[in-house]
Amino acid sequence: MHSKIIPVLAVALACLSLPSVATAQKTSKSKKTTASAKSWSPSGAWRSVYSDPSVRVAVDTTQTRRQSDGTYKVRLRWQYASNQAIGTKHAYRTMVDRKLIDCATQGIKPVSAETYDAAGKPVAGYDTPDAQVGELDWAKRPPGSSAGKAYAAVCGVVRKK
């Protein structure tokens, strides 16, 4: 079942990167989670860069690399205040993703992502092969959106590194 949702997750996360705050649909097999976004975090040297009522974003300072073309490969942690839906039967609370970021244009390309529920149990993920990352168009987020503000904050941190 995990492999069936990976393509859906890859498209959703690659296109949206910061999905709207939507609660997962409750099914008879799942229970509503009440744990806070602070309850679990994947390992890393996380530096908080952006926060609003719906999400907290941090960059792993040990996994940030400047590329030869001036872009940055970063590892980000998105911790949501409520469950984020993947389809109708799965939800996550934390996403750890790797992105290429062009700080000059605020463009992003998805590299990989793994999502976790509030207890830290993996939900789904994807990994884009290097050859395909190069072929992807640079996506942009509106400057005033949560994602736009988060990526601007990430660039502020990585440029100082």
For the chain, give the secondary structure using H, E and C: CHHHHHHHHHHHHHHHCCCCCCCCCCCCCCCCCCCCHHHCCCCCCEEEEEECCCEEEEEEHHHCEECCCCCEEEEEEEEEEEEEEECCCEEEEEEEEEEEEECCCCEEEEEEEEEECCCCCEEEEEECCHHHHHHCCCECCCCCCHHHHHHHHHHHHHHHC
Q: Is residue 34 situated within a structural domain? A: no
Q: Is residue 8 situated within a structural domain? A: yes
CATH number of the domain at 60, please.
Answer: 2.40.128
Q: Is residue 102 situated within a structural domain? A: yes
Q: Is residue 37 situated within a structural domain? A: no
Q: Is residue 127 situated within a structural domain? A: yes
Residue-number span of the structural domain to which 10 is assigned: 2-19+42-160
How many structural domains comprise the chain? Answer: 1
pLDDT (tens digit, 0 to 9) for every residue of the chain, 161 residues total? 444 444 444 444 444 444 333 333 333 333 333 444 444 567 778 999 999 999 999 999 999 999 999 999 999 999 999 999 988 889 999 999 999 999 999 999 999 999 999 999 999 999 999 899 999 999 999 989 999 999 999 999 998 86
